[in-house]
Amino acid sequence: MTLRELLEEAAAGSPDLEAVATPDGGIAWSRAGTPFAVVSGDGAAAEFALDPVVGAAASRTPDVAPSSRGAGWVILRPAVLDDHALDRARAWFDSGRRRISR
């Protein structure tokens, strides 16, 4: 499974999400016009909008760095797409989606 496949699966069945193709062939997901997750065209990286405190902590985990998208955004670029990386990606996708609904 790739990051793209995982995130597409996470978004499936959520009619309130908007998915838009990015210039590099990736996908950006938003809710109510607010983006919260982006996967790169090659599926090797994904960015997530997290609460800034959570994002700061997340950026100190392996294969994660702050994103240039702004406060709270992190980029996950796992060297190995193992269960831990997939779990983080799914949790951060869900967290970003829930955060917008508040």
Kind of pairing, strands 64-66 and 27-31? unpaired
Q: What CATH class is the domain 3-100?
A: alpha beta
User: How far, in Å, CA of 34 to CA of 62, rounded?
Assistant: 27
Mean pLDDT of the chain: 94
In which band, very low, low, confident or very high, does the pLDDT at 102 lie, cut at 50, 70 and 90?
low
Contact 88, 81 (CB under 8 A): no
What does the domain layout of the chain look like in residue ranges? 3-100
- Write phi, then psi, for 19 (nearest 5 degrees): -120, 125
- pLDDT tens per residue across span 4-37: 999 999 999 888 899 999 999 999 999 999 999 9
Instruction: Return the CA Rg of the chain.
Output: 12
Helix/strand/coil for 63: coil
Query: In the predicted model, what is the mean pLDDT of residues 73-79?
Result: 97
Residue 101 has pLDDT above 80, yes or no: no
- pTM equals 0.93
